[in-house]
A and B are shown apart, each in its own frame.
With several copies, the nearest count.
Chain A
Amino acid sequence: MPETVLDTFEIKRLDILDARGNADPALMPPLGGAEIKKMYEYLAIARTFDDRALSMQREGRIGTYASIRGQEASQVGSALAFDKKDLIFPSYRESGVFIARDYPLHMLFQFWSGDERGMKVPGDINIFPICISVSTHLPHAAGAAAAAVYKKEKTAVAAYFGDGATSKGDFHEGMNLAGVFNAPAVFICQNNQYAISMPRSRQTAAKTIAQKAVAYGFKGIQVDGNDVFAVYRATKEAVENAKAGGGPTLIECYTYRLSDHTTADDASRYRSREEVEYWLARDPIARLRLYMEKQGLSGGKYEEEVREKAESLVDDGIKKMEETGPAEPQDMFTYTYQGPTARLSAQIRSFSPGAV
């Protein structure tokens, strides 16, 4: 009775679009020109939104903001692989996902300006409000996915989170539960190489995030997160597999956070200029642009039109946010419970907004 091998596991990585804009035809997902253009436009809006949010923060017009620069392909590429009725559980660094779901931009700005009305998710958009406490939304995704099965819907559920999030107990419990219940959940890790100042290598001794799926008995895969086609393809497969009863998938989008952690952070304290430059050269949007040029998808004024459209959308969002003004102070009483309790009613009566 020697040592026997019980099982073996392979962790794969998917790359489709290279830095020069060439896509592997064997792996290229079946996207038409219009779809690719749509993708590109969302990427452009995401980038524009992000840029403007950063400058708005500097001007004191919104509060602390978490930039997605560099992660746009990971977010837009994956979000577009879901159907409208699929439910997404985002973290705080998912502006690109919200944008790809046509979330009203003024509400995103509202959120980042400290106004919870920005997360009063419109009824026709299936996204949960932003989860600030890292990883706590992964079990929610497992639960919503299990509920979809219970209700016999063909719905997939997504959870988005970072590399740092994988160290938390709730990552583990959420993934494990999704595995046990064979829930139609897709776990999308934005491995942007940092959790604030902590590099990925100090977050876990595992060499990849993807291999963590082995612990839960389902598939894990790493994709080039700056390659919108690879992200889209891997997510699409995971969504289809989930809806076909094949259970969850963990997707590690290998990408990079080009900005500071948030506007309250200074990344130069903990990482080198060279490292950032290495990744700047791998910009996910530039790469798609190259591809589109080569494919003749972006001739004439296309570039300019896209930029203008993105800017006007974002401008409108800002304008609408700033016109809206703050919520009524009494608003804070309205949503603690469905109806105010007797105790709360008495407190409401005693409230005079002129306080402080």
Chain B
Amino acid sequence: MPSSQVLPAFNMVQALNSALKEEMARNPDVVVMGEDVGRDGGVFRVTEGLYDAFGPQRVIDTPLSESGIVGMAIGMAAHGLVPVVEIQFMGFIYPAFDQLVTNAARIRARSRGRFSCPIVVRTPYGAGVKAIELHSESTEALFSHIPGLKVVVPSTPYTAKGLLVSAIRDPDPVIFLEPTRLYRMIKEELPAEEYAIPLGKARNAKEGNAVTIISWGSMLHRALKAAEPYDADVLDLLTLSPYDEGAVLASVKKTGRVVIVQEAPKSCGFASEISACIAEKAILHLRAPVMRVAAFDVVLPFARLEEYYMPGIKNIREAIEETLRY
């Protein structure tokens, strides 16, 4: 944290809130919109206080209409605003998938730059909070396959704030995935002054030489915990699209062993992309198979079984041990 002056410790919700507040204060074109983001402050309270501070013109309570909300944001962006949309849970982003893929991602290309789409779509993401069905999705891989979109996943209050600031300032559409499990799990002191964390750069969360562990979001913390006994290099990707290929390859070249940890089902998950990148560009440096620790390829179970579904520390350690056996 490159700061001397600090504020009281923030959890991720508060960090996000302060990013929104500051960017709204800096740029009058930034508006926040979504279901219950206004008077109610959002179901996780990320937008709390914004309605009172900026009024209903800039903190816009919308009808229950995900496709329409994202579609409106696209139109607003085309007309000069910078909308930050909240989708209540990632399980409800699918109705807006068409707008994101068909329009948000392509407006710049379709109009050869005459129009652009500087929107941010924020949504709580991931399991581990014992919620009901469709409140625990982690389908980041879908969005990461779409050229024209960017995909960002913070892992701490500090990164959440700095990345959201960058996402809002980014001239292209950003899917901003907030790990629900982390919303209130970690507190951190934040710099008092303005800061932004550039998109597209991974963070080294722990340095080591024996094995590279790559993760993002809520699994990063399990990966860190699992890595404790090892001389592991732990990479926190932060941006999934475009991801920091350079950081991945550099670490793999150093250690020769890789474990990638993702919460989503294994097949066609984001870990597969990282693994494929390594298999293509760093294979001569590998001393062990590239292991993916991921959820099973099953429909996400309800709360009572969700822990069995997600990768646990034991699974991660097993994978680390496996790579170290080579």
Contact = CB atoms under 8 A, between A and B. Distances in A.
A and B together in one complex: yes
Interface of A: 63-64, 87, 89, 92, 113-117, 119-121, 123, 128-148, 150-151, 157, 164-165, 167-170, 173-174, 176-177, 180, 195-198, 202-204, 264-265, 269-270, 326-327, 329, 331-338, 341-344, 346-347, 351, 353-356
Contacts of A167: 63-65, 68
Interface string B144-157: 00011010000000
Nearest to A175: B68
Contacts of A142: 68, 71-72, 75
Q: Which 8 A-B pairs have the closest CB atoms?
A: A139-B71, A143-B75, A114-B303, A173-B68, A143-B72, A140-B75, A356-B312, A120-B112
Nearest to B306: A114
A327 B305 contact: yes
Given A63-B132, A132-B132, A144 B64 contact: no
Contact of B130 (A63, A134, A135, A144): A63
26 contacts: A63-B132, A87-B79, A113-B303, A115-B304, A117-B112, A120-B112, A120-B113, A129-B114, A132-B134, A133-B94, A136-B71, A138-B71, A146-B76, A170-B95, A176-B63, A177-B69, A197-B36, A197-B39, A198-B61, A264-B43, A269-B39, A341-B200, A342-B200, A351-B296, A355-B315, A356-B312
Given A177-B62, A332-B298, A64 B131 contact: yes
Interface of B: 31, 35-36, 38-41, 43, 57, 61-81, 83, 91-92, 94-95, 98-99, 102-103, 107-116, 130-135, 147-148, 150, 171-172, 200, 242-246, 266-267, 296-299, 301-309, 312-315
Contact of A146 (B40, B65, B72, B172): B72
A189 to B, nearest CB: 13
Given A133-B91, A165-B64, A347-B296, A151 B79 contact: yes
Contact of B67 (A120, A170, A332): A170
Nearest to A329: B308
B53 to A, nearest CB: 16
A227 B92 CA distance: 34
B112 A332 contact: no
Contacts of B77: 143
B40 A197 contact: yes
Given A136-B102, A337-B148, A164 B63 contact: yes
A337 B108 contact: yes
B63 A121 contact: no
A203 B64 contact: yes
B304 A143 contact: no
A329 B109 CA distance: 14
Most buried by B among A64, A89, A198: A198
Contacts of B131: 63-64
B314 A355 contact: yes
Given A116-B301, A139-B99, A329-B308, A147 B67 contact: no
A258 B58 CA distance: 30
B75 A139 contact: yes
B243 to A, nearest CB: 7
B132 A92 contact: yes
A169 B72 contact: no
Contacts of B99: 136, 139, 170
Contacts of B74: 139-140, 143
A121 B309 CA distance: 24
Given A134-B64, A141-B75, A343-B245, A123 B305 contact: no
B269 to A, nearest CB: 13
B321 to A, nearest CB: 14
Given A120-B113, A167-B65, A170-B98, 9 more contacts: A87-B78, A121-B111, A121-B114, A134-B92, A135-B64, A137-B71, A138-B71, A170-B68, A336-B298
Contacts of B116: 338
Given A143-B76, A332-B301, A342 B63 contact: no
A355 B36 contact: no
Contact of A176 (B31, B68, B110, B314): B68
